[in-house]
Homo-oligomer: A and B are copies of this chain.
Amino acid sequence: MTYCVAMCLKAGLVFASDTRTNAGVDHIASFRKMHLFHIPHQREIVLLSAGNLGTTQSVVSLLQQRVAANLAPHMHSVDSLYDAAVLVGRTLKEVVARDSEAGGPTQQGVDFGANFLLGGQIKGEGPRLFHIYPAGNFIEATEDTCYFQIGESKYGKPILDRVIRYESTELPEAAKCTLISFDSTIRSNLSVGLPIDMVLLRRNRFEEPMKPHRVGADSAYFQQLHRGWSDGLRQVFESLPDEPWFET
């Protein structure tokens, strides 16, 4: 499985993905699920993926290959992030159609599906974020619903719902909340694992290229969050009262 989160806030964008893939618990491997498309001072685009690894790798390879060959429309040529989402959706459908076409050996119930989160900023428009579904169609984040998750999303959702607000959440706070959301997920689900790849993109900040960070088991900061959150929750829990009828 996988866990990826992306948010589009007034302050900018946050992206995070874990690196674990598995086909059964005895076939666990580490793969990057975050891919960047970048033109200095012009565009910063991040793509996160979840689902069939064959499909997601092929989609990314085709997108990259077409940039390299300058086969427009490609990720460096599209005029808007909306057009980039259309491109990713179309490439996804192309790959799934190819891999599931008749003539090969039987598919044996393989699910070729994949989900993508695509976000970033292209000069001339604001930051945008899209969730591209396995069918190739997509939705865009809004002020009301400013974050998306793909993969193993439920364990880490409550803390996001409590903290993240489009208007008021600053990027460092959003990043901290994202890491706590990963900590809860990793704790409750074996199929999501460290390290975490993370990118913060401040709105209209095209001076320097985006810097992805990798947060591993050896990250002092992640360990501090992990312990601090766990101890803090215990303290809050213990500070809350018991109800008289519990004394049975």
Contact = CB atoms under 8 A, between A and B. Distances in A.
B246 A236 contact: no
A226 to B, nearest CB: 10
A39 to B, nearest CB: 19
Contacts of A236: 228-229, 232-233, 235-236
Copy number in the complex reads 2
Given A154-B188, A188-B158, A188-B161, A171 B228 contact: no
- Give the one of A159, A173, A188 with max B CB within 10 A: A188
Nearest to A239: B232
Contacts of A232: 232, 235-236, 239-240
Contacts of A247: 172
Chain A interface secondary structure, helix, strand, loop or mixed? helix
Nearest to A185: B158
A162 interface: yes
A198 B83 CA distance: 52
Given A202-B248, A245-B213, A246-B200, A237 B180 contact: yes
Contacts of A200: 246, 248
A155 B172 CA distance: 24
A188 B164 CA distance: 13
A162 B240 contact: no
Nearest to A174: B246
Interface in A200-248: 200, 202, 205, 211, 213, 221, 224-225, 228-230, 232-237, 239-243, 245-248
Contact of A233 (B159, B172, B187, B188): B159
Interface of A: 154-155, 157-159, 161-163, 171-173, 175-177, 180, 184, 187-188, 200, 202, 205, 211, 213, 221, 224-225, 228-230, 232-237, 239-243, 245-248
8 contacts: A154-B188, A155-B155, A162-B233, A162-B234, A173-B242, A180-B237, A200-B246, A224-B241
